[in-house]
Structure formats: structure tokens, C-alpha cells
Structure 1
Amino acid sequence: MHSSHNSVLRNNQKIVTMGRIIFYEDRNFQGRYYETSSDCPELTSYLSRCHSCRVESGCFMVYDRPNYMGNQYFMRRGEYADYMSMMGMSDCIRSCRMIPMHRGSYRMRIYERENFGGQMYELMDDCDNIMDRYRMSDCMSCNVMDGHWLMYEQPHYRGRMMYLRPGEYRSFRDMGYSGMRWMSMRRIMDSCY
């Protein structure tokens, strides 16, 4: 098995094990740039602004506030010459988080109330509408046991989103999502990479 900076060769197939993203100060990949393969809590440490980016490999969540706060956007491999108009962002990217590739099963418990209260349902696959599937009108906490997930404020994977990695999320309100309802959930699968 041959191993390089961000890929592994296995059975003559290249499998991406680490992502790489390049941020540019100006639109159309112009101006100063900053390249990373890991989480970055504050992009303004490297660039005064960011108006375009290129995802060379892997998947990333980007945020319009420092320290992984604010609105979140999912980016897969590709070029984003003017992501603000493409994605409807009103502000520059201020931080980013690399999403590691997950092999294996996916499992998440969603709860109707904060602190794992109320109705509970266990998900092992995508759910395009918790109201239709479970008669659940709100999801206020969850426990991600396996895999990486995206949660959306509207059914059918639309609206604002939130990235969830394995861990306990006792209160979405306390995380800064007061007044938001989460209505659909999707696994971040190999096909995203």
C-alpha cells in the first residue's frame, strides 16, 4: 500500500483520505490565496477577505462567521468562482471545517425536545421530511452515534443547514439556532467526495 500526502492507493483505486481547499481573496480565483487541509477557525488570519474557492478534494463546511459559527454551507469537490452569488451568501467565508470521510454505518437519534426529551427516532438513512415520516413537528436535540450528517431547516434538504459529526447535541437553541426548526437530515456519503 502506497501512501501520499492526501490519498491512499488500494487495489489500484485512489481513495481520498484528506480534503484540500484553496480560498482566494477575489472572485474568479484571483488575488492572494490560502490553502488548507484542516479546520480553520479564523480565515482572516490569512486573508483579508474571501470571494472564491476551489475544493481540490474532500468535502468542507464553510461558515460566514469565525469559529464555525453563523450560516453554514456544504462544499464538495469543484470550483466556486463567485460562491456568494452562487450560494446566496451575504457575507464572506470566515471559517471552515474539513469533513473526514466515513466508512461504515450511519446512526443518529433525533429528539423532539431539548436534552433528549420527547419523541425519539433512530435514523440510519436519509430522511427528507420528519413530519411525514415520524409525525414529528420539531427536532431540538440529537445524538450522532455514527457518521457525519447534514440537517436542514426545511423538508427535502432545503434551507439553512447544520453539519453534525459524532457527538451529543443537547440543545440546538443553545448552539445559536434559536427559532429554527430542523425538518430533514442527510448522510454525508462517499459519493459526496
Structure 2
Amino acid sequence: MTMGKITFYEDRNFQGRSYETSGDCADFSPYLSRCHSCRVESGCFMVYDRPSYMGNQYFVRRGEYPDYTRMGMSDCFKSCRMIPMHRGQFRMRIYEREQFGGQMNEMMDDCDSIRDRYRMSDCQSCHVMDGHWLMYEQPHYRGRMMYMRPGEYRSFRDMGYSNMRWMSMRRIMDTC
């Protein structure tokens, strides 16, 4: 597995104290009083505006992110998760209703609109069999996002997304 490297800074524009990691960090508070910018040297990460990988999520890859507010985050970064690179097959089943109910479709590639492709009005549960995916609240990979790794997701409501409708999905490829 390729390792990533990300550095977080207390202030915008890479100012103030910094904290560097090559993996997951459930809570930045022991290292930084706040976190308003980051720089990704390698790899891909999800950053979260709450500790323990909760709250709003944002996908970052190699590059500079000088101001958390430009990323649509409501609060500063408080945790991060490294996304392992996947070079194999991608496969995910999406379901119209919770608990794997309603219409089901199997995906193996990106989908910019489940409404257009599958005639599904909503995606409320899924089963990620292979690969790592990003789900977006709007078609064409827009709006808030959620990171999905292999596993069963019976209800997005249980994950704190009671009012969300997931309308597009994208594979996280090994191009980070």
C-alpha cells in the first residue's frame, strides 16, 4: 500500500503550528488548537470537521488547501483518514431504500447521475464490495460528499445523514 503524507496548519495559508501524519488521526486537538489549512504531499485523504471521522467530509489529494472555508467546511478540520489506493476491480450495489430495499443496481464505474442512468429517485443504502468510493449529494459530483470503503451500509440515516440524497458516485482511483 502506498503511504500518504499530509500536513495540517493551525491558521489559514499554512501559518502557525503544524502537525504532519501519514495515516489516520481521529482527533487533532492534542497537536493543534485549531486547523484551518493543509498541504497534501502524497496520497489521498478524507478530512472531517468533527473528531472521530464525523461531520462534513472533504476529499483531498496532492495539493495545497490554504483555507478550509473555500472547501465548504462549516468548521475547521478536526480529524482525517488516509484512503488506501485500490488498483483492482470496483463494485458497489446501491439500493433505493434503507436496509437494501427497493430497486437495486450494481455499479462498476463512475455514475454522474443515478436518476439519469438507473431511473432511481434516491440511494438510501449500499454495499461496497470492492474499491473505495465517494458519494455526492447532487448529480455531476457536486455538493457534500461521503467516503465509502468496503462494507455494508444499511442506513445512511444511522450515519447522521437523515436528510441527504446521494445522487452521484465516483471511484477513488490510484491517481492520487
The TM-score range, normalised by the shorter chain, is over 0.9
Q: What SS does the aligned partner of 1:91 have? A: coil
Superposed counterparts of 1:55-74, under 5 Å:
55-74=40-59
Q: Which amino acid letter does the alignment assign opposite residue 90 of structure 1?
A: S
Q: What SS does the aligned partner of 2:146 have? A: strand
Q: What SS does the aligned partner of 1:131 have? A: helix
Measure, in 1, the Cα distance between the counterparts of 2:169 and 2:13.
32
2:143 maps to 1:178? no
Counterpart in the other structure of 1:161: 145
Deviation of 1:103 (Å): 1.1
Deviation of 1:87 (Å): 1.2
- TM-score, structure 1 as length reference: 0.89
Q: What SS does the aligned partner of 2:157 have? A: coil
Measure, in 1, the Cα distance between the counterparts of 2:125 and 2:9.
36
2:21 maps to 1:27? no
2:126 maps to 1:137? no
Measure, in 2, the Cα distance between the counterparts of 1:44 and 1:174.
26
Measure, in 2, the Cα distance between the counterparts of 1:151 and 1:32.
33
Paired positions, count: 176
Counterpart in the other structure of 1:12: none
Counterpart in the other structure of 2:82: 98
Measure, in 2, the Cα distance between the counterparts of 1:137 and 1:79.
36
Aligned-residue CA RMSD (Å): 1.0
- TM-score, structure 2 as length reference: 0.97
Q: Equivalent of 1:41, from 12, 16, 26?
A: 26
Q: Which amino acid letter does the alignment assign opposite residue 121 of structure 2?
A: S
Measure, in 2, the Cα distance between the counterparts of 1:47 and 1:152.
30
Measure, in 1, the Cα distance between the counterparts of 2:116 and 2:12.
41
2:132 maps to 1:148? yes
Measure, in 2, the Cα distance between the counterparts of 1:154 and 1:116.
21
Q: Deviations over 1:22-59 (max 9, x none)?
A: 00111221111111111111111210001111101000
Q: Bigger radius of gyration, 1 or 2?
A: 1
Measure, in 1, the Cα distance between the counterparts of 2:96 and 2:140.
19
Percent identity among equivalent residues? 83
Counterpart in the other structure of 2:71: 87
Deviation of 1:88 (Å): 2.6
Deviating above 4 A after TM superposition, structure 1's stretches of 4 or more consecutive aligned residues are none
